[in-house]
Amino acid sequence: MFAIASSQQQYKTYTLSDSYAQSELEVVPERGGIITQWRIQGQEILYLDRDRFSHPELSVRGGIPILFPICGNLPDNTYTYQGQQYTLKQHGFARDLPWQVAEQATDDCASITLILDSNEETKAVYPFDFQLSFSYRLWGNSLVIYQNFTNRSNEPMPFSVGLHPYFCVQDKASLEFHIPSSEFQDQKTKTSHPFNGFDLNSDEIDAAFRKLSGDSATVSDISRQLQLNMEWNNAYYGTLVFWTLKGKDFYCLEPWSAPRNALNTGEDLVMLPPGETLQTWVSMNVTFL
């Protein structure tokens, strides 16, 4: 019922599948460990701009990029640690670097585990030794992403982590949201607003929900007759970001462990002690209406 196949395209691509549920997941380790596609019964769940994806010098717009060691951007792309200034671009470097395949399994699900280790390139912008381990597990209509962060430095390691899923949508006016918060911050204007839905005719919506009252959110796509349910480990994920652009067939629902600029402000920043490992997870499930 469960299988994993690999193929050489522009990048080596791993396809996880559940034949009973007719679900497939494509993973490209060397392009930021990214999930590029998720299909269920022939329907594309994720959006991917394949033209941007084919150009390594461009950031990927689509799939599920990994955000580490920051979520969002820093003022002037800089932060200061122990008196030294470092430059770190938006969303960090994990989404751009090649990851290594550490394990594959097809017992009770289709699972692949990817590893990213610190190196001289990462330490030039983020002076810590670390190992990240992400396991993607496909079963039925569900995807669970287990995440391990190990601090191999001799001092506490500050970071935030997030996922940036791009979900396909054909008619944004048909979307219905159930988000566990009554207000959001417009990340462009830094102003707070009560939440009772979005004006999806806006050129851009970049909304951060900070006061979460629960650990799950639901988006119903009435035009496609499907519903997305996202759950997260609320011990670490305290911010949920919604982002979309007018005229683009995607919306993003992004669990973040900390808001923008946390590496400078310290707000909700993880401080992982030396030698320790933090474990967390995010799950996504699709049901058909």
| H/E run at residue 262 | helix 262-265
Band of pLDDT at residue 77, cut at 50, 70 and 90: very high
Query: Is the pLDDT reported for residue 201 higher than 90?
Result: no
- For residue 197, what pLDDT is reported? 85
The residues spanned by each domain of the chain are 2-288
Report the C-alpha gap between 99 and 200 in whole angstroms. 36
Nearest by Cα to 162 from 176, 181, 149: 149
Percent of all residues in the chain with a pLDDT value above 90, rounded to a whole number: 90
* Neighbouring C-alpha atoms within 13 Å toward the C-beta of 121: 8
- For residue 159, what pLDDT is reported? 98
Mean of pLDDT values over 79-103: 96
Tens digit of each residue's pLDDT (9 = 90 or more) over 21-55:
999 999 999 999 999 999 999 999 999 999 899 88
The SS3 of residue 215 is: coil
Query: Is the pLDDT reported for residue 58 higher than 90?
Result: no
- For residue 59, what pLDDT is reported? 87
Mean of pLDDT values over 215-242: 95
Strands ordered across the beta sheet of 2-8: 2-8, 12-18, 23-28, 34-40, 43-44
Task: For residue 206, count other CB atoms closer than 10 A to its CB.
Answer: 18
Given phi > 0 = left and psi -120 to 50 = alpha, else beta, which region is 5? beta
Mean of pLDDT values over 105-130: 97
Band of pLDDT at residue 188, cut at 50, 70 and 90: confident
- For residue 204, what pLDDT is reported? 94
Angle (CA) 158-161-167 rounded to 5° is: 170
- For residue 190, what pLDDT is reported? 86
Mean of pLDDT values over 124-142: 98
Residue 127, judged by CB atoms within 10 A of its CB (0-12, 13-18, 19+), counts as: middle
Cis peptide before 194 (omega within 30 of 0): no
Architecture of the domain spanning 2-288? Distorted Sandwich (2.70)
Mean pLDDT for all residues in the chain: 95
Band of pLDDT at residue 237, cut at 50, 70 and 90: very high
Query: Is the pLDDT reported for residue 56 higher than 90?
Result: no
